[in-house]
Amino acid sequence: MGFFWTIVVLVVALAVAWRYLGAYMVAVYEGRVHFFGFLERPIYRALGTSPEKEQNWKRYGASMIIFTGVSLLVTYALLRIQGHIGCSTPSTSPRCPHLSPSTPTSPSSPTPTGRTTAARRPCRTSARLARSPSSSS
């Protein structure tokens, strides 16, 4: 029953806000409103671009590759330090170090040998979780 009320509340909130949000989005897309203009201008200056400039396919491709690389590095770093940061739970800490390089790209994709990354090299954490009574059915 809680799911039903969640949907009802979301539909009512959308019905109330659609007119104002739509008008705001039109103003943003037409360039009449720059809500975060004070943040946008320094970023544009640092990147050497402007909102009026078109982006060609080469620059877009390079941007996507750089963004993907940075995302992979950040995810890798978070996985490596996961056991040392305050928001870890006992079920997420410690992780096997050999899983960190492959997890950001594809956690369950098969390796060239056909096994998944978790099965490539067992570690004490995986063995301990496999023996735990809660994982048996």
Per the CB < 8 A criterion, the answer to whether 43 and 49 are in contact is no
Give CA angle at 123 (117, 129), nearest 5°.
95
Domain ranges of the chain: 11-53, 54-85+94-106
Per the CB < 8 A criterion, the answer to whether 51 and 31 are in contact is yes
Q: Tens digits of per-residue pLDDT, 46-65?
A: 988 887 888 899 989 999 99
Has residue 129 got a pLDDT over 60? no
For the whole model, what pTM was predicted?
0.46
Q: Tens digits of per-residue pLDDT, 71-117?
A: 999 999 988 887 777 665 655 555 565 655 555 555 455 555 555 55
Amino acid letter for position 78: L
Structure tokens at 13: 């909130």
Which DSSP state fits 54? -
Give CA angle at 71 (84, 53), nearest 5°.
145
